[in-house]
Amino acid sequence: MNTDQDLKPQVKRKRGRPPKEVGGRGVTRECLVRKGIELLTAHGYASTGIDKVLKAVGVPKGSFYHYFSSKDDFGRAVIDGYGAFFAAKLDKWLLDETSAPLQRLRNFVDDAKAGMERYEFRRGCLIGNMGQELGGTHDVFRGQLEAVFLDWQSRIENCLIAAQDAGEISSNADCAELAAYFWIGWEGAILRAKLVRSTRPLDLFTNAFFQGLPTKG
């Protein structure tokens, strides 16, 4: 994994505007954001230098400040990119009509768990990481990160409402609250899973979550 096959050509370029690459239209910016997601998730915002991202993608420094006005601006783009990427992943699982609603949620959880294992519990969730690192100090990021959580949360909420409609959980259940509870515990479990390098915290939380859901009534 991560064989760096998706980066810009490492060929030595001349200065100035480069000759028009047929396939490459705005590819650079997207590559930067993609690498940013990868590196910020793994090492955090403060610890990840611009240079690291640039070197990993094979793009010179000058380009960076053409596409982004500052590191913060880049950070915002990275958060948006990750938020959208993960929202799509949520939809993929939670809107899958071939499974019952609660099973969809389980499927998502299993997929996310597999992702944690695949990266050896080194990355976790970019939004959780940046929230922890910058939520207390950086107001702009704080609002943006919370907005991403609310977006994800509403997708879980909709899935729980579907479960209600399907009679899987009680019609009295407060799905919005349960969805909020889900993300609180899930992010806490990811943090702990990084420390113990195991899915145990994830299993512990999700088992309790599903078991605690109000049964039909």
Binding residue for its own copies, selected from 8, 30, 42, 100, defined by CB under 8 A: 42
Would you say 19 or 217 has its CB closer to DNA?
19
Binding residue for DNA, selected from 1, 2, 23, 66, defined by CB under 7 A: 66
The interface region with its own copies, picked from 4-12, 65-73, 106-114, 202-210 by CB under 8 A, is 202-210
Are 155 and 87 in contact by the 8 Å Cβ rule? The answer is yes
Binding residue for its own copies, selected from 101, 124, 157, 168, defined by CB under 8 A: 124
Report the partner that residue 51 touches, choosing among its own copies, DNA, none (CB closer than 5 to 8 A by kind): DNA
Examine residue 137 and tell whether it contacts DNA (CB under 7 A): no
Q: Shortest Cβ distance from residue 82 to DNA (Å)?
A: 18
Name the DSSP class of 212.
H
- Backbone conformation region of residue 186, classed left if phi is above 0, alpha if psi is from -120 to 50, else beta: alpha
Q: Between residue 134 and residue 163, which ones bind its own copies under the rule CB under 8 A?
A: 135-137, 142, 145-146, 149
Examine residue 189 and tell whether it contacts its own copies (CB under 8 A): yes
Are 190 and 202 in contact by the 8 Å Cβ rule? The answer is yes
Q: Between residue 41 and residue 60, which ones bind DNA under the rule CB under 7 A?
A: 48-52, 59-60
Are 164 and 170 in contact by the 8 Å Cβ rule? The answer is yes
Long-range contacts of 159-163 (CB under 8 A, 24+ apart): 159/94, 159/101, 159/104, 159/105, 160/101, 160/105, 162/101, 163/100, 163/101, 163/102, 163/105
Examine residue 10 and tell whether it contacts DNA (CB under 7 A): no
